[in-house]
A and B are shown apart, each in its own frame.
Chain A
Amino acid sequence: MGELALIFIGSVLVNNFVLVRFLGICPFLGVSKELDTALGMGMATTFVLVLSAAATWLVQTFILVPFGMPFLQNVAFILIIASLVQLVEMFLQKASPGLYRALGIFLPLITTNCAVLGLAILVSQKDYTLIQAIVFALGTGAGFTLALAMMAGIREQLQFADIPKALQGAGIALITAGLMSMAFMGFSGLIAM
């Protein structure tokens, strides 16, 4: 239990995927203009992260390794993720139209979110068990949502700031992210990973 808690806290704060590991920067910069959409994107990504971590773990353990094909990892994982995202989209559309409307526009974007593939590869590198992999995915999703929501909150305020013309948009967003990343470095002593 303690180990699982460490994995969770470690992936939310110490090794935050966005601010420390640089995974999932595209949605972090692209969908962080409003708090509501940022939260929606965070939730959708967490959902896919957990599902794909479980699915890729099963495929890695029961298909790729026993048949001696770990070199097919990249191709297999990206296929699983792409089809999983499609499946989730179709399932939500039928089963829960409300949730589909809320998450709908973000789902296709998640296929090319490197956090999802990155997590799957990291799990296989670290030799996690299925439970550990799912907790790691949950923590990663929570960390991603946290970073996205904080960024959106800051950017909503930045709209009223007087920013030099050349830095407007991406420039100031990147510098803000740098300051946030510096703040997150304060957590690095929290757990010895």
Chain B
Amino acid sequence: MKSLRKEFLKGLWDEHPTFRLLIGMCPTLAVTTAASNGLAMGLATTFVLVCSSVIISLMKDLIPKKVRIPCYIIIVATFVTIADMVLAAYFPDLHKVLGLFIPLIVVNCIILGRAEAYASKMPVFHSFIDALGMGVGIIWGLTFLGIVREFLGMGSVFGMQILPETATSWVIFILPPGAFFTLGIVVGLMNQINYVLERRKRERTTGSVTAGQAVQG
């Protein structure tokens, strides 16, 4: 049980796909112009990731090793087509905004990466948990970027105006350069937080060692 929890949690921070491993960058940068777009893209990617991980894990003994990558791609592409059609039928506005980037979930390296590194080797339930953890990581990552960019660029969050209309908004943040800046700074901040956490941990362990020696002495 404990290991399952670890599998789930690693996707949220330590191995966060977009901020730590820097994979699946294209949708991360392109669709996070508003918080709701980021959330929708995160949900769509998670749906494809979880479904294809489970199916690949179920079929891992049937798929010949040499042609595994094309097989994985077909499985992923099938779920992407399902997500594409569901979005087009029930959320046409969202479908229009995300546009090209829904079919492009097929070539999102996160999904193929998890299939190759995890789902093709581990039992079904483990793969499901792993994919879910990564998916939640993607969702919070994209939504967070969306919130930051929408707030700085338009003064609103999830479409609700927060800053007064008179405040100057930095339109650059919802334009392409803003995507690179925001992600660059967030990656830097995450590294900084990790350095601080590591240093604290090291200080605590060395501190306890010296304390233990003092007791022995």
Which residue from B172, B176, B189 sits with its C-beta under 8 Å from A22? B176
Assess whether A98 is interfacial by the CB under 8 Å rule. no
Kindly supply a per-residue 1/0 record for chain A positions 12-34, scoring 1 wherever the CB is within 8 Å of any chain B CB and 0 otherwise. Answer: 00000001111111100100000
Assess whether A59 is interfacial by the CB under 8 Å rule. no
Assess whether A181 is interfacial by the CB under 8 Å rule. yes
Complex Cα distance, B101 from A125, in Å, reads 13
Assess whether B81 is interfacial by the CB under 8 Å rule. yes
> For chain B residues 170-200, which have a beta carbon within 8 Å of chain A?
172, 175-181, 183-185, 187-189, 191-192, 195
A79 touches B73 (CB 8 A): yes
Q: Which residues of B contact A117 (CB under 8 A)?
A: 103-104, 106-107
Q: Which residues of B contact A72 (CB under 8 A)?
A: 81
Complex Cα distance, B19 from A192, in Å, reads 36
A174 touches B183 (CB 8 A): yes
Complex Cα distance, B73 from A116, in Å, reads 15
- Count, A-B residue pairs, CB within 8 A: 121
How close is B17's CB to chain A, nearest CB, in angstroms? 12
Complex Cα distance, B29 from A175, in Å, reads 12
A26 touches B23 (CB 8 A): yes
Q: Which residues of B contact A182 (CB under 8 A)?
A: 172, 177
A121 touches B100 (CB 8 A): yes
How close is A118's CB to chain B, nearest CB, in angstroms? 6
8 A-B residue pairs with CB within 8 Å? A25-B25, A26-B25, A73-B103, A74-B103, A121-B104, A170-B184, A174-B180, A181-B177
